[in-house]
A and B are shown apart, each in its own frame.
Chain A
Amino acid sequence: MGRVKDAARKPAAGSGKPEKYFIFSLSCTVNGAGLERAVPSSRSLLEFIREDLGLKGTKEGCGEGECGACMVLVDGTAVNACLMMAVQVHGRDLVTIEGIKGKDGGLHPLQKTFMAEGAVQCGFCTPGFIIASEALLRRKPKATLEDIKLELTGNLCRCTGYEKVLSAVEKARGK
């Protein structure tokens, strides 16, 4: 898993002790482009995406896998970035919401139907919903309403927009 380098960063607040960690040379693809980056083993995938790569579309909601706001695709499969470590994507294909695009490079059909159906209120949960829905429709292009409901059990929306989300995903089928 890449070369390992010993390192220490500034003391954690209050502890006075330097926090020791190891650095990996991580190589993966992010939204279709190859990437090599030195990353500490203590980095979560979510921190890596937001802080190191500056891709702020992926959100941190609960940090315990309950809300789905941090969902990304790893090798085409939806996972919760808050529960993965950055080094775990070594050699793999990572797609964040920034990498979800239509065939013409514009908006993805799901992004269009989410807008058309008014399935977005505050928008915090939206990247996770789009990622989860995309994973489902790639696997099951003719997903039923029941399939969609089950697939989205791991995504919470606190503006209570579920009905519109469901109809947006239904309308994106086959597009």
Chain B
Amino acid sequence: MPEIIVKPLYLKELWKILPGLPASRRYLAGGTDIVTAANAGAETSQCWIDISALPELGLIKETAGALFIGAGVKISEIEASCAARKWCPALISALPHFASPSLRNMATLGGNAANGSPCADGVCALVAERAFVLLAHNGKKRRLALKDLFLGPKRTALKKDELILAFEIPKRPHAGVYLKLGPRAYFGISKAAVAVAAEISGGIIRRVTVALGSVAPVPLLAVNTSAWLTGRELSPRSAAAAAELVKKEVAPITDARSEAGYRREMCGVLLERALNSL
């Protein structure tokens, strides 16, 4: 457990106090990952910076072209947001599978991404939504495609003290779905998960993004499968062909939660079901 927890009230205050804090420090948002790790003795930073009060992280807002979800917005607040329901169907479809209701009252998308887990439900869905992530470091901001934030299991492109401010989701009418295979129907870490966000008109898939969770070192954007599906008719036949293709694109491992071969098979099954449900 940390020796000290500090709680800046504004972003400017955060940048001001940072230099004076112990070098061994981490951000605390919802706490659902970091406190679990501390309870298990795996998280040993001297100082936690509680960012839950930063107003800059706490809003869902819209511009003409994009929806912005603050990194500190609670998952349950996103579930209740009309704007998120309208513009992020794949994300909304994922949220009932995001941990449990009480953890959704605590957890944030910023934490889900910063944790860098390949099985993060919210992140996988956001990758399918073609989200960007807005980062800040000492007042300097940068914007990355969310898929590029992840370098490996628990490894991200975040620099020391760099903070996730928000996720930017381009506004476009589309359908979306998230299917997850876990140890039970709800509240489990996925063995495999598939998120699909597709712009469909006249029975043709005009543009589609397929993302997968728990089957690669990072939340995986299935570039080849997405490209193959683009411009094709949405049909059980194309869904079955895409299912074969996606199995070649994933790189699952065998671990405590599942086996590599089973995970690979299930990616096909989940994608086929997802496409047929659109």
Contact = CB atoms under 8 A, between A and B. Distances in A.
Nearest to A4: B4
A42 B76 CA distance: 27
B7 interface: yes
Contacts of A77: 76, 105
B36 A20 contact: no
Interface string B179-191: 0000000110000
Interface stretch (A28-36, A64-72, A164-172): A64-72
B39 A63 contact: yes
A159 interface: no
Nearest to A42: B1
Contact of B101 (A24, A87, A132): A132
A120 interface: no
Contact of A22 (B4, B32, B36, B105): B4
B170 interface: no
B96 interface: yes
Interface in B21-65: 28, 31-32, 35-36, 39-40, 48, 50, 52
Contacts of A107: none
Given A22-B3, A44-B35, A79 B99 contact: no
B44 to A, nearest CB: 11
A84 B35 contact: yes
A41 B40 contact: no
Given A63-B39, A64-B40, A84-B106, A153 B3 contact: no
A42 B3 CA distance: 6
A82 B50 CA distance: 17
Contacts of B28: 85
Contacts of A85: 1, 5, 28, 31, 35, 48
B1 A154 contact: no
B153 interface: no
A13 interface: no
A41 B103 contact: no
B100 A88 contact: no
B102 interface: yes
- The main secondary structure of chain A at its interface with chain B is mixed
Q: Which bucket holds chain A's interface residue count?
A: 20 to 34
Most buried by A among B2, B4, B186: B4
A151 interface: yes
B7 A154 contact: no
A70 B187 CA distance: 17
A162 interface: no
B5 A65 contact: no
Given A41-B4, A44-B39, A88-B50, A65 B32 contact: yes
A154 B103 contact: yes
A4 B7 CA distance: 12
Nearest to A7: B3
Contacts of A41: 1-5, 48
A126 to B, nearest CB: 16
B100 A68 contact: yes
A27 to B, nearest CB: 14
Contacts of B48: 41, 85
Interface of B: 1-7, 28, 31-32, 35-36, 39-40, 48, 50, 52, 76, 96, 99-103, 105-106, 186-187
Given A24-B5, A71-B102, 6 more contacts: A1-B6, A41-B5, A65-B102, A85-B28, A87-B50, A135-B102
26 contacts: A21-B3, A22-B4, A22-B5, A41-B2, A41-B5, A42-B1, A44-B1, A64-B40, A65-B103, A78-B105, A79-B105, A79-B106, A80-B102, A82-B35, A83-B36, A84-B35, A85-B5, A85-B31, A85-B35, A85-B48, A87-B5, A87-B50, A151-B101, A153-B100, A153-B187, A154-B99
Shortest 9 CB-CB contacts between residues of A and residues of B = A154-B100, A42-B1, A153-B186, A22-B4, A83-B35, A41-B5, A153-B187, A78-B102, A63-B39
